[in-house]
């Protein structure tokens, strides 16, 4: 009986050590994954900023879309930014870009 208990204790110790090793490995993998996610978020942010700058210079003052509605007053400044005239169904690039990036991130 004492042998069985001693054998059971050694199995418990081995299992505890194995669990501790697995938890340490899991912690390291989570840290590595977080680092990769952070790098990719910086890359995506940089790419979106570069694209915004490039497209904003190309489409500045040009109508890129016509909205099927008139936006509410506090959005009209953004949706009609740098466009001539008073037709608020005309859409500027920046407004369309913001809508697209919001939909991609969701």
Task: Summarize pLDDT for 41-72 with one digit per residue, the tens.
Answer: 999 889 989 988 999 999 999 999 999 999 99
Residue 29's pLDDT is 97
Q: Are residues 45 and 72 in the same domain?
A: no
More confident site: 31 or 13: 31
Per-residue pLDDT at 92: 94
Q: How do residues 1-11 score in pLDDT, each as one tens digit?
A: 555 555 667 77
Task: Judge if 46 and 1 occupy the same domain.
Answer: yes
Helix extents (H) in 1-106: 2-59, 73-79, 93-105
Q: Are residues 47 and 76 in the same domain?
A: no
Same domain, 41 and 71: no
90, 59 Cβ separation under 8 angstroms: no
Q: Are residues 49 and 33 both part of a single domain?
A: yes
69 and 43 housed in the same domain: no
Asked whether residue 46 falls in the same domain as residue 83, the answer is no
Q: So what's the pLDDT on residue 4?
A: 54
Q: Tell me, what's the pLDDT at 33?
A: 97
| Interhelix angle 2-59/93-105, nearest 10 degrees | 170
- pLDDT band at residue 106 using 50, 70 and 90 as cut-offs: low
The stretch 65-81 carries a mean pLDDT of 93
CB 80 within 8 A of CB 65: no
Residue 20's pLDDT band (boundaries 50, 70, 90)? very high
**Same domain assignment for residues 70 and 101:** yes
Residue 72's domain spans which residues? 60-106
Number of structural domains, the chain?
Answer: 2
Give ∠ CA 26-30-31 in degrees, rounded to 5.
120
């Amino acid at each position: 009986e004492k042998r069985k208990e001693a054998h059971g204790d050694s199995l418990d110790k081995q299992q505890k050590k194995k669990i501790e090793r697995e938890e340490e490995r899991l912690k390291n993998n989570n840290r590595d994954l977080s680092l990769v996610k952070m790098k990719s978020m910086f890359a995506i942010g940089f790419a979106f900023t570069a694209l915004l700058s490039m497209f904003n210079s190309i489409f500045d003052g040009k109508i890129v879309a016509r909205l099927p509605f008139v936006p509410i007053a506090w959005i009209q400044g953004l949706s009609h930014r740098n466009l001539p005239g008073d037709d608020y169904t005309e859409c500027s690039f920046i407004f369309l870009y913001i809508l697209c990036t919001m939909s991609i991130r969701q």
